[in-house]
Amino acid sequence: MALFTQASLGSDFDRPMGVVGDPVNPFDSISLPLSDGTVVQVFDTKRTALALLKQMRTVGKTWNVYASEDVLCVAVSYSKLLVAETNLVNQKLFSSFAPIYYGGLVRFLHRSASLVLSLTDALRAVGYCVSSSVPYMNNTDLRVAGVNMLIVDYNYKSNPATPSEGSQLEDETPLVFDFTNS
């Protein structure tokens, strides 16, 4: 059973400017692997995840929602959603850094210092042992590294064929939303 369902959140979500209709694979479910080896189904569909992102912006005016004691959903400028396990490193990450989305890039702004870092560098800063020599760019990288975090946006794919498909931390074409009318 999913933590969030379309029945509980509805199906209304924000679309990038110039886009109409449903995203690709709107009924892909979203599951998060946890450090204890279990997998939690967080959303029954991608549409539900996007609906939560809109509700966080319009109803709750909040940037994070605890889906359960194990799962945290964090809005990134209300354009993307980071779904993360609430382990010590991720809790330290989100208490030390605020995720932002600017110019197609997800970056982490330090809350008390003048630092803007990539996810990889922000994880290093909070003590995560990053073994990769290249920065994390997508859900495949995060899954392989065992970060226990997912990026969900309009482009999300549960099983991308290549690393360039699906949600990215650095979009070639930025997702642009007009929130002035809602």
Q: Where are the domains of the chain?
A: 6-152
Token representation of residue 131: 């073994």
Cα 29 to its chain centre, rounded Å, is 14
8 A C-beta contact, residue 89 and residue 128: yes
**pTM, 2 dp:** 0.93
Q: Give the three-state DSSP class for 104.
A: coil
- Report the distance separating Cα 29 and Cα 22, nearest Å: 15
- Report the distance separating Cα 46 and Cα 24, nearest Å: 9
Residue-by-residue pLDDT tens, the chain, 182 positions:
899 999 999 889 999 999 988 898 899 999 999 999 999 999 999 999 999 999 999 987 899 999 999 999 999 999 999 999 999 999 999 999 999 999 999 999 999 999 999 999 999 999 999 887 789 999 999 998 999 999 999 999 988 888 889 999 999 999 999 888 76
- Report the distance separating Cα 97 and Cα 61, nearest Å: 19
Q: Give the three-state DSSP class for 165.
A: coil
Using alpha carbons, select from 79, 69, 99, 74 the residue that is nearest to residue 150.
Answer: 74
